[in-house]
């Protein structure tokens, strides 16, 4: 990216506030670019209930962030990026030395809406740094070093987002346990509509805690188990997504805009639609088929302009 009015390159601090999580190779001056790539994610079902010990399902989607590293003289800099964030230099300083590396970042993912954009950046950066050292990053390295980057952005992240990004596919998880892969027998196609209004996760979680909707949370947890079983068998989960949304609405985390999006996408042919994430803003997802995808996308775009995406996983 280039052009007039663009912010200047992001420079790495000489004394990063974030400590390194492992040895970083000294720049060799060798030719070439070292690339890492990682996907974003959606939560399919189970948000909020997972806080209370129930399981939830998330899946990596086919929207990606790519980090490229190359040797350069002088201080390390982020030279080209789709992600402008004041914390970016500190985050990358956990992996990249303060001298000798140029960084470029490109991303398909919208930011600030619960699709794991910072986690995808973290995992992509770990993979690029490992390739620069002449090796391939393991899942464990992506998890541990990715967590250090996520802490810069989120303070005390759960680890779910970058686990899903590093693992790929669909996962089922319970708070305090490592996520495990989940079989998805038939490809899942989702339309994702971004309201453009960021939700406050801490506020939403606190509100649910205060309201104590135990019956609804129990039901959401049960839906996760049923959805997991049906995904493994290749059966439709649309009605379960519909029910999950209205349970989330009852516990007080939906908004009028999210409700209207779900209604509009289901009226256009989606098999089921729900908010995805903490709520209070963010995204809604809708399960579609090849026959209904265009109509559902059009219905969503009438409400959120061009902030509509189609993603896939499984199969």
Please give the positions annotated as active site.
161
C-alpha closest to that of 311 among 298, 301, 297, 299 = 297
For residues 314 and 232, what is the distance between their CA atoms, to the nearest angstrom? 10
Sheet with 188-194, side-by-side order of all strands? 272-276, 283-288, 188-194, 308-313
Q: 116-137 as b/e, with b when 16 or more CB fall inside 10 Å? A: bbbbbbbbbbbbbbbbbeeeeb
For residues 260 and 134, what is the distance between their CA atoms, to the nearest angstrom? 50
| Beta pairing partners, 42 | 59
28 secondary structure, DSSP code:
-
- Phi and psi dihedrals of 227, rounded to 5? -65, -40
**3-state class of 4 per DSSP?**
coil
For residues 38 and 50, what is the distance between their CA atoms, to the nearest angstrom? 24
**3-state class of 85 per DSSP?**
coil
Please list, in sequence order, all residues whose beta carbon lies within 8 angstroms of the beta carbon of residue 150, skipping any fewer than 6 positions away: 118, 119, 122, 157, 159, 161, 162
Residue 212 neighbours by CB distance under 10 Å: 11
């Amino acid at each position: 990216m280039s052009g007039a009015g663009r912010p200047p390159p992001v420079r790495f601090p000489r004394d990063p506030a974030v400590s390194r999580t492992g040895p970083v190779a000294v720049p060799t001056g060798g030719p070439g670019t070292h690339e890492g790539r990682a996907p974003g994610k959606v939560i399919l079902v189970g948000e909020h209930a997972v806080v209370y010990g129930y399981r939830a399902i998330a899946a990596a989607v086919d929207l990606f962030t790519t980090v490229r590293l190359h040797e350069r003289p002088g201080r390390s800099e982020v030279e080209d990026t789709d992600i402008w964030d004041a914390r970016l230099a500190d985050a990358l300083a956990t992996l990249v030395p303060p001298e000798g590396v140029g960084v470029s970042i490109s991303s398909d993912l919208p930011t600030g809406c619960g699709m794991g954009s910072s986690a995808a950046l973290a995992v992509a950066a770990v993979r690029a740094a490992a390739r620069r050292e002449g090796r391939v990053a393991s899942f464990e390295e992506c998890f541990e070093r990715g967590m250090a980057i996520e802490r810069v952005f989120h303070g005390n992240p759960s680890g779910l987002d970058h686990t899903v990004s590093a693992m790929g596919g669909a996962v089922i998880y319970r708070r305090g346990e490592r996520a495990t892969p989940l079989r998805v027998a038939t490809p899942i196609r989702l339309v994702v509509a971004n309201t453009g209004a960021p939700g406050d996760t801490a506020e939403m979680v606190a509100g649910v805690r205060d309201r104590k909707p135990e019956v609804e949370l129990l039901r959401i947890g049960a839906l996760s188990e049923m959805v997991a079983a049906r995904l493994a068998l290749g059966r439709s989960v649309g009605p379960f997504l519909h029910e999950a949304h209205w349970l989330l609405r009852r516990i007080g985390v939906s908004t009028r805009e999210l409700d209207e999006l779900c209604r509009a996408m289901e009226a256009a042919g989606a098999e089921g639609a729900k908010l995805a994430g903490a709520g209070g803003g963010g995204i809604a997802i809708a399960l579609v088929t090849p026959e209904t995808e265009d109509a559902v996308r059009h219905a969503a775009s009438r409400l959120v302009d061009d902030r509509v995406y189609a993603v896939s996983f499984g199969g």
